[in-house]
Structure 1
């Protein structure tokens, strides 16, 4: 739910009104807070010191040139983590400069998040799959924006793809797409639910990217639009984002446990016909030379000791 200001200074005006009168009214728009707040609702923002805000509160905050009205999902000293009840991603971290006030009439417990499995789409048709693995999991591709050192994804399909949403790179994405980042609204355990439910569908996991607002980009991670992924799972926290290797390890461990790669089936051995050509006997001269060589080798071995002076070890 957002209030779109006429200019970037409206947050300053709202802050001044709150400081003088203690409250202000805003008309909201958008569907980010459904079902709690419907578009067009006029809400009352009240002044409240940021340290007194708790999870479940709905707050008004300035994000760039916009004022958002979203729910607090976590707090830390002097900062808030917020998200729209109906959005797939957390907002950029809200600090003292962005925080404006609370909307007390909509305070409620943070709603639990469950993955919308309809986003996975219909199951694959049988003739599109290898008939030997119709009942097993589909393929799982993990995309990362660059090289990753010290990870545990050996044996999985891990590929580098800097910007997988680009139309000129259609081969990067296959099947439903799951984004894994510190800003995902779904809890980490939701990834297990999605991997189990995917069944024979091919999946693509986007690991190490940023999504949504420009302020959400950190550590040089490529910033992708939210709709680059069908579902967004959280790993780590925006307050302390994990490294790319740790995020890839998390995804790889879950994929390896829940969607193992089907073992390769060796083709049946082809029986070769028995040889019908009789062996060729060695000529008398060649046989005599081979016999002499064996005799000389035996004599040399009898005269050679089993140890030498190279460390006292037999050669």
Structure 2
């Protein structure tokens, strides 16, 4: 007995794509997919391989196992990008085409590009402002644009994903739909970034053991279930070598920017436990100047790490 007919329908519905969309992705006709799902015809060896590769399931399983009894599919599909949760990679279909690793993502931004520059100059060199600021942009209404994502990798390579297939204008149905999809993709990428920041760097988390390890600062392994709070903290660089980590903390805010600018500092995380004990981790390995580009970059990293830790201890 073979299950290929029911498996194809099950996997396609699980991924929430139509027969027509699946046919486009596999470069076959809509009728071909329909016939295979309805049992009117059987896919040949080459076609079964295509299905197995697309749905990321073993060839034999697609034929001989009832996949409706297994776990959910491991691919999250969008029109312009696919996320493979099993292999931990994302595949860009429209933009910087290729396959890239989750662990190398550093940042993701939603941007708009003037339509006439697409393919002629580096992506997002010519951006279009929307939202509240669009009304003051000169001749904005005469500038159609593409909605897209710019993904910055850890080696500072910049990847592009085009969300809107055709040029659009602000606040049209097409613009709103493309922006909403871009937000969904960015939210997913931000979750991936947070996850991998907890698996590498100055602080790593072991969910299985319910512990976290500080690699720079108060080095050691600590229980997550004893943790009640995580905060971003600052320390004058000159104090780092002469005291316990963050024994002398400093306050940093836009109001104190001018005063704080005369100091270089370290950015870190403070972990507060149920018994009131506190431990510290250095997020910045080198001293930075307040509100410099490097400061902003590391401060954002510390905030994202804090957010990931807080999410873990709040469950």
TM-score, length basis structure 2: 0.25
- Greater relative contact order structure (CA < 8 Å, 6+ sep): 1
User: Considering only CA atoms, is the larger Rg found in Structure 1 or Structure 2?
Assistant: 1
TM-score normalized by the length of structure 1 = 0.25
More helix by share: 2
